[in-house]
Amino acid sequence: MRTVLLLALLLASTPFFSQTEDEKQIKAIYDKALTDGKAYDWLDHLSNQIGGRLSGSVQAQQAVEYTKEQLDLLGLDRVWLQPVMVPKWMRGTPEFAYFETKPGLTTNVPICALGGSVATPDGGLKAGVVEVNGIEDLEKLGREKIEGKIVFYNRPMDPTLINTFASYSGCVDQRYSGAAEAAKFGALGVIVRSMNLRLDDYPHTGSMGYGDMPVNKRIPAAAISTKGAELLSATLKLNPNIKFYFRQNCKQYEDVQSYNVIGEIKGSTYPNEIMVVGGHLDSWDLGDGSHDDGAGCVQSMDVLRLLKETGYRPQRTLRVVLFMNEENGLRGGNKYAEVAQDKGENHVFALESDAGGFTPRGFTIDASEENLEQIQGWKGLFEPYLIHMFDKGGGGADIGPLKDGNMVLVGLRPDTQRYFDHHHAENDTFEHVNKRELELGAATMASLVYLIDKYGTIPSKKVKG
Amino acid sequence: MRTVLLLALLLASTPFFSQTEDEKQIKAIYDKALTDGKAYDWLDHLSNQIGGRLSGSVQAQQAVEYTKEQLDLLGLDRVWLQPVMVPKWMRGTPEFAYFETKPGLTTNVPICALGGSVATPDGGLKAGVVEVNGIEDLEKLGREKIEGKIVFYNRPMDPTLINTFASYSGCVDQRYSGAAEAAKFGALGVIVRSMNLRLDDYPHTGSMGYGDMPVNKRIPAAAISTKGAELLSATLKLNPNIKFYFRQNCKQYEDVQSYNVIGEIKGSTYPNEIMVVGGHLDSWDLGDGSHDDGAGCVQSMDVLRLLKETGYRPQRTLRVVLFMNEENGLRGGNKYAEVAQDKGENHVFALESDAGGFTPRGFTIDASEENLEQIQGWKGLFEPYLIHMFDKGGGGADIGPLKDGNMVLVGLRPDTQRYFDHHHAENDTFEHVNKRELELGAATMASLVYLIDKYGTIPSKKVKG
């Protein structure tokens, strides 16, 4: 009877013991992050000593060197640079724009060139304006109304969507493809309302592309601040014949050498199962890229340090990867996946933080149902930290190329309400990152990595079975 | 058979229909708040046109007039001012402090008088310093080590608590009672580390009290910025004999007349069941009180407007109450409850927003188990808005005096990570409130008020049965 009771107690207590151990380890991670985090200091350096880190820039190279140096100091098993060729686009001198209601009567508006755009002619470009609510309007208007004009894309982000990334997705085609599409109808240039939910004076840049359009057909594209867009639109309603002038001398150069920065802790038991945690080291050039994505880089770096400092030795190989060139090319993400495949590496898990350094709310998970359920089963462990989102969804741009139908891809999901106030704009700066919010994100990531490492991922039956 | 089927369908569909109706109404509220909210504009005026609204000040009176005027414009059934006498304490000229490591070698540190403190002597107060980790240390040190000294309370807020209000609670006794307690041991004054989780240069004020200590025994109390506290503490470790000097000429005046501002929509079906939604109109004087608690006031005002504009007519009487003097007296909250009792009014529900204008995360609920369960049963309706906290807990200071063991008291719970960076300090200002976050809070409050109004509260069996 005693033995049976003991056995029953043992059996009953096993999950509790494990639960307690996980609770303890996760508490140790959060405590460490909040009392002795390194993420904020690293971000201070990246943002305030280096600044905006556009691919191919001196600052991007400085960021590579700085983060490698800092990872070296952590005493990981291995730190290295992974070469990758990246595009180099430069903004040149500050852009300038106005609209002219009658000859000599002009109103300046804040603009910035979109990343990848061609320049205007040297003296600038001046033309009539046709406002549209999106690419679909071009067809309706036809070449007749567009030819020789500047197309003004003014569809705002939908403020009623609670997830502001969904609002962004609903608009960003104007920015990415607006120029290429308008050029087909004979437009001379495009001006795109900034992807910003707030009315303010900051133009927000971001990538755009011309597809396979010949260089001599490409037309310049710039973003206008949301207040500028509102003013331009209101003025056009009063006077559809106003002219818009803008000048930018941005330029695309030859690709240059750059690097992904990688640090690794070798797995103690399953060294061939690789887990990745990362963000992208490049940023746009207008601000200092604190939220996008300095935050994700320093959080990812701190994940390894937090596990190490709390005495946790991963069973699986854990890598921090600071990807280069997410913003205008994704070359770093593609290169990392390519090398992994060439080497036949077995990546089981990747976690990306690329949605700002705000209070973490949870994760989006791109995985099989079994893996999704396993992660959702850990919900209770995260509850004390107010982490409540465990939704099906994308992991992140940089880790996307790793996707193989078997591994688990996860994105950290911070609060999104303020993100697009800063995204790709001059005010994406260090003072808008809160230390605790950043640290909570790092701890949340480290906790998930710990659980994944401890319990493993569930291999897909189709692949394995 | 057909009838049975129809009945079954009807029965089965009833909850779904209702669910859909609630979902629709709540969506309408959120959409309205995010596309046509008024809270942010009202807050702009309160913060930037009026400013800090300390009880008894000209600005507090201006805020009473402005908010009444704005409520008048909403076309409610009734808007009125409820007179209440409030304490009047004034800071006087800016405070000044330094520590002296040797005669003539001084270092200035940022301080501010605590609300309710007496002044220092005209020429200031200079004395040796004894650092303590809290009130409990006084007894250990004894009169011998404290008499003639300035007591420096330096227990920091605990950074490992995820809910920063819990960290605040763990420290605020130093601020509230530190002077009264230290005076018992012969201290000449007290300096209290600011209730701030961040290291910065802002001193944070807040209320303190002397209990029934005779006026001539009272000693002055000031807050020091967290960086100042760290510097002072580090210096004391090197040289325990340094002197601290501070000067403040704050003063308590006679009580003055002020008002709670109240607006009401009469209930269509149960006019005698009263629901309150509110915040406090007074603030501290250093910043403009945008988060504490301008945000709560404008959100509460918008709750009535949002319901009205989405076409919802409450069955119960709904009142917005902007309470006066939460910060240093709670006279408005006490007066409101007193008048309610005198008139025999039946308050069934009160909701307060007094935790900043940040992204709402949920509610704390002070109610019977039945009412708690009813509210928790609505969790699914709030999920699309990322509202996930439905915890047992306090409602709020101003609505506290209404508590009668029967009614439902609820506090809005926004994200707390940044709150104490700003709380009671010079940087509690408008630019730190995000429009969407503020609006989401108002919509979250309005949605709960809608549900409470529609389904009613559950009367306590003890009282009714």
CA–CA min distance A59, chain B (Å): 28
Asked if residue A395 and residue A355 are part of one domain, the reply reads yes
- Does a structural domain hold residue B350? yes
Q: Do A436 and B417 touch (CB under 8 A)?
A: yes
Chain B residues with beta carbon closer than 8 angstroms to that of A385: 162
- Does a structural domain hold residue A12? no
Q: Do A386 and B31 touch (CB under 8 A)?
A: no
Asked if residue B426 and residue B367 are part of one domain, the reply reads yes
- Does a structural domain hold residue A276? yes
Structure confidence at residue A19 (pLDDT): 67
Among A186, A215, A249, the domain boundary falls at: A249
- Does a structural domain hold residue A114? yes
User: Which of B435, B438, B439, B444 has the most A C-beta neighbours within 10 Å, making it the best mutation to test the interface with A?
Assistant: B435
Asked if residue A133 and residue A49 are part of one domain, the reply reads no
Scanning B26-55 for CB atoms below 8 A from A yields 30-31, 34-35
Among A230, A249, A268, the domain boundary falls at: A249
Among B193, B215, B249, the domain boundary falls at: B249
Q: What is the pLDDT of residues B101-155, one digit of tens each?
A: 999 999 999 999 999 999 999 999 999 999 999 999 999 999 999 999 999 999 9
| Residue of B160, B389, B434 with shortest CB distance to A30 | B160
> DSSP string of B204-222?
---B---TT--GGG---EE
Nearest CA in chain B to A157: B35
Q: What is the pLDDT of residues B88-115, one digit of tens each?
A: 999 999 999 999 999 999 999 999 999 9
Asked if residue A43 and residue A146 are part of one domain, the reply reads no
User: Which of A31, A160, A165, A419 has the most B C-beta neighbours within 10 Å, making it the best mutation to test the interface with B?
Assistant: A160
Asked if residue A334 and residue A445 are part of one domain, the reply reads yes
Taking the Cβ of residue A198 and every Cβ of chain B, the question of whether any pair is shorter than 8 Å is answered with yes
Q: Which tokens hold the place of A236?
A: 């056009």
User: CA B131, CA B357: separation in Å to the nearest integer?
Assistant: 35
- Does a structural domain hold residue A14? no
- Give me the mean pLDDT over the B35-46 stretch: 98
Strand A346-352 and strand A270-280: pairing?
parallel
CA–CA min distance B23, chain A (Å): 14
Asked if residue B261 and residue B239 are part of one domain, the reply reads no
Taking the Cβ of residue A5 and every Cβ of chain B, the question of whether any pair is shorter than 8 Å is answered with no
CA–CA min distance B5, chain A (Å): 36
Asked if residue A426 and residue A377 are part of one domain, the reply reads yes
What dihedral do alpha carbons A423, A426, A431, A436 form, nearest 10°? 10
Residue A195 sits in a domain of what CATH number? 3.50.30.30
Q: Do A35 and B436 touch (CB under 8 A)?
A: no
Nearest CA in chain B to A389: B386
Residue B358 sits in a domain of what CATH number? 3.40.630.10
Q: What is the DSSP letter of B198?
A: S
User: CA B438, CA A24: separation in Å to the nearest integer?
Assistant: 35
pLDDT at B7 over 50: no
Percent of chain B with pLDDT over 90: 94
- CB atoms under 10 Å from CB of A18, counted, come to 12
The residue among B380, B384, B385, B377 whose CA lies nearest residue B412 is B385
- Give me the mean pLDDT over the B70-87 stretch: 98
Asked if residue A146 and residue A64 are part of one domain, the reply reads no
Chain B residues with beta carbon closer than 8 angstroms to that of A436: 159, 164, 197-198, 417-418
Q: What is the pLDDT of residues A44-91, one digit of tens each?
A: 999 999 999 999 999 999 999 999 999 999 999 999 999 999 999 999
Q: What is the pLDDT of residues A176-188, one digit of tens each?
A: 999 999 999 999 9
Asked if residue A163 and residue A75 are part of one domain, the reply reads no
The residue among B443, B415, B452 whose CA lies nearest residue B276 is B452
Size of interface A-B (CB pairs under 8 A): 61
Q: Do A434 and B440 touch (CB under 8 A)?
A: no
Chain A residues with beta carbon closer than 8 angstroms to that of B35: 159-160
Structure confidence at residue B462 (pLDDT): 55
Asked if residue A220 and residue A74 are part of one domain, the reply reads no
Structure confidence at residue A166 (pLDDT): 98
Scanning A404-463 for CB atoms below 8 A from B yields 415, 417-418, 421, 434-437, 440
Chain B residues with beta carbon closer than 8 angstroms to that of A197: 436
Structure confidence at residue B19 (pLDDT): 67
Q: Do B434 and A415 touch (CB under 8 A)?
A: no
User: CA A308, CA B151: separation in Å to the nearest integer?
Assistant: 40
Chain A residues with beta carbon closer than 8 angstroms to that of B418: 434, 436-437
The residue among B323, B399, B335, B318 whose CA lies nearest residue B365 is B399
Asked if residue A122 and residue A69 are part of one domain, the reply reads no
User: Which of B387, B417, B423, B431 has the most A C-beta neighbours within 10 Å, making it the best mutation to test the interface with A?
Assistant: B417
Chain B residues with beta carbon closer than 8 angstroms to that of A359: 359, 415, 417
Structural domain span for residue B131: 94-249
- Give me the mean pLDDT over the B169-189 stretch: 98
Q: What is the pLDDT of residues A355-403, one digit of tens each?
A: 999 999 999 999 999 999 999 999 999 999 999 999 999 999 999 999 9
Percent of chain A with pLDDT over 90: 94
Q: Do B162 and A389 touch (CB under 8 A)?
A: no
Rg (CA), chain A: 24
- Does a structural domain hold residue B128? yes
Asked if residue B381 and residue B260 are part of one domain, the reply reads yes
Say how many domains are in chain B. 2
Q: Do A160 and B31 touch (CB under 8 A)?
A: yes
User: CA A452, CA A192: separation in Å to the nearest integer?
Assistant: 42
Q: Which amino acid is at A32?
A: K
Chain B residues with beta carbon closer than 8 angstroms to that of A31: 160
The pTM of this model reads 0.95
Q: What is the pLDDT along chain A (465 residues), one digit of tens a residue?
A: 444 444 444 444 444 456 699 999 999 999 999 999 999 999 999 999 999 999 999 999 999 999 999 999 999 999 999 999 999 999 999 999 999 999 999 999 999 999 999 999 999 999 999 999 999 999 999 999 999 999 999 999 999 999 999 999 999 999 999 999 999 999 999 999 999 999 999 999 999 999 999 999 999 999 999 999 999 999 999 999 999 999 999 999 999 999 999 999 999 999 999 999 999 999 999 999 999 999 999 999 999 999 999 999 999 999 999 999 999 999 999 999 999 999 999 999 999 999 999 999 999 999 999 999 999 999 999 999 999 999 999 999 999 999 998 999 999 999 999 999 999 999 999 999 999 999 999 999 999 999 999 999 999 765 443
Q: What is the DSSP letter of A64?
A: H
| Residue of A35, A417, A440 with shortest CB distance to B417 | A440
**Could you tell me the CA-to-CA distances from B209 to B170, B218, B225 in Å, in that order?**
17, 10, 20
Q: Do A34 and B198 touch (CB under 8 A)?
A: no
User: Which of B415, B422, B431 has the most A C-beta neighbours within 10 Å, making it the best mutation to test the interface with A?
Assistant: B415
Q: Which tokens hold the place of B327?
A: 């910060």
Q: Do B160 and A437 touch (CB under 8 A)?
A: no
- Does a structural domain hold residue B13? no
Chain B residues with beta carbon closer than 8 angstroms to that of A434: 417-418, 421
At B460, is the pLDDT very low, low, confident or very high (cuts 50, 70, 90)? confident
Q: Do B162 and A385 touch (CB under 8 A)?
A: yes
| Residue of A164, A417, A434 with shortest CB distance to B418 | A434
pLDDT at B256 over 70: yes
Nearest CA in chain A to B390: A386
Q: Do B198 and A435 touch (CB under 8 A)?
A: yes
Nearest CA in chain A to B27: A160
Residue A123: phi and psi, rounded to 5, are -85, 5
User: CA A441, CA A439: separation in Å to the nearest integer?
Assistant: 5
- Does a structural domain hold residue B73? yes
User: CA B407, CA B275: separation in Å to the nearest integer?
Assistant: 10
CA–CA min distance B63, chain A (Å): 26
Q: Which tokens hold the place of B66?
A: 């402005």
Whose tokens are 């990981």? That residue is A76
